[in-house]
Chains A and B, each alone.
Chain A
Amino acid sequence: MFESLHQSAFIQDVIIFAKPALFNLYFALASIPAGFPFAVLLALGKASPNKWLALLSRGYIYAFRGSPLFIQFFMCYSIMLAMNQSLWKPWGIDHIVLHPLFLGPFVLVLNTSAYAAELFYGALKTVPKGEVEAAQAYGMSRWNVFRSVTWPHMLRLAWPAYSNEMVFLFHATTLVYFTLPVINEQKDLMNKATDLFERDYNVFLHFGVAALYFLLISILIFWVAGLIQKHLNSHITGDKVRLSFKPRYLR
């Protein structure tokens, strides 16, 4: 029985797709550690009293939210290529800078931080004024007010939306290899699915298994984000806001 199970096309596909799924996961996981702080900085910049800083952050967020990631990938890659002869080659880092495993997360960071910054900015605006004023009245320094009042509030308020954004980011990783060169066997789920499709035209099987992987990892991301949410809200008694598996639809 195991023999027949092993030979079924579905199981074969599930096994084949395991490695490509790691590439998608890599792109998402590599973008979050850089994208998260950058997004917080952008949100603080947009809310800052400094006019020029606010304008710059606002413009950046608007531009990267208002244009397709597909174009951003092409644009950044071609700009990087244009700077190759004058900068990257002489410095000897052209292999790193032009590699999809670097450039993919780089563009994803530029993109996701704009979306996340908008979420954090929205959360920043809803931090209760009274608490900030109370902290100031206690004579806390500006940094202390931020660290102990604004930051925890902002993070807690924005977290459900941010977990949604992480899923969008994971889905956006499909575009990396549609725009950047595929090197050898470094292929992601969509590459592999189109490859296998061109071999036997079985669109339902290959795309179906790829979709299954995306669905499962999306649910996994929601689950982990839910655990963090629980931790963030652990001091709140009474009605806890639970993160449901019902995903939000808007980015």
Chain B
Amino acid sequence: MLEFLIAQIGQWLGEDIGASLAYISNGKHLAWYASVRYTLIAAVGGATCAVLFGLLGAALKQSSFLPFKWLGDFYTTIVRGVPDVLFILFFPLAFEKGVEYILAYVKCGAENVAATTGWPPCDAAQWYLSTGDYLVMACVSLGIVYGAFAANVIHGAMMAVSRGQLEAASAYGFTPRQVFWRFKVRQMWAYALPGLSNVWMLLLKATSLLSLLQIADIVQWAGRLGAANYFPRVGLVHPDWRWKYYLVLFLFFILMTMISERFFEALQRRASRGMAITGSN
């Protein structure tokens, strides 16, 4: 189907365009286009985790029980003080090593672990991670890192919800839990969305780091496809074309940012329906 289409277009537009179309739709290139799914899964999964961690962090920061409050403040401060790359590498590695450590004690026996100096003490303790496993861990670590950012945004937004609304709700006889979920959280979104949109942009850009976790994502494919291509029988297919491929990625991420901006504008309009803040109709 695809070959036929390209042959047709080649007939209309000339050999050169047909040949380059055929080149950019060969198997490797199709694999490159397909690897966009990892970026999108990590972005959406990471954002979901980030909102969950953000709600948790905001709840901790508002807790009247001091140790919880300290924990919340510690979480948001430490994540902000350290680069995201460090955390994105650290959490998967720490989790992997932790699981392998437990596996070693369960499968190899404590004597074996004590006797051997190298790692792993026996083959059963080696945990080979698939791309899917790494993707899940990438989502969680993106969630932890940007959850701290989201926690701050959500915390500020919850403070911005007017007290009168909450007092009126409790005067009507709503329980504290109902007041929290049906009024505070419901109204919070309108205040939180501009900040959350910013966090989403940061998270989207951080998804380019997936290749550091050995996921064959768009960045890694671009490097592979662009590298100078030499076959002994054919000769040099193309010289180092990496800059072309990275330029495409550069434009791809700008496009994603544009789409996200539009999306959040629409969401903001929806969230602030009927609320007396700027930006509502």
Contact = CB atoms under 8 A, between A and B. Distances in A.
Interface of A: 62-63, 65-72, 74-75, 78-79, 81-82, 171-172, 174-175, 178, 190, 193-194, 197, 201, 203-204, 207, 210-211, 214-215, 218-219, 247, 249-251
B240 interface: yes
A25 B84 CA distance: 17
Interface string B68-97: 000000001110111111100110011001
Contact of A62 (B83, B219, B222, B254): B254
B140 to A, nearest CB: 16
28 contacts: A62-B254, A62-B257, A63-B250, A66-B201, A66-B257, A68-B206, A68-B208, A71-B208, A75-B247, A78-B246, A171-B83, A171-B84, A172-B83, A174-B85, A178-B85, A190-B86, A197-B93, A201-B97, A203-B97, A207-B90, A207-B93, A211-B86, A214-B86, A215-B82, A218-B82, A247-B80, A250-B149, A250-B199
B80 A70 contact: no
A67 B253 contact: yes
B82 A214 contact: yes
B275 interface: no
A71 B206 CA distance: 10
Nearest to A24: B83
A201 B258 contact: no
A66 B246 contact: no
A66 B86 contact: no
Interface of B: 76-78, 80-86, 89-90, 93-94, 97, 119, 148-149, 152-153, 195, 198-199, 201-202, 205-209, 212, 219, 222-223, 226, 240, 242-243, 246-247, 249-250, 253-254, 257-258
Given A171-B83, A174-B83, A78 B243 contact: yes
Given A68-B253, A74-B219, A190-B83, 13 more contacts: A66-B258, A67-B254, A67-B257, A68-B206, A71-B208, A75-B243, A75-B250, A79-B243, A81-B240, A81-B243, A82-B242, A211-B82, A214-B82
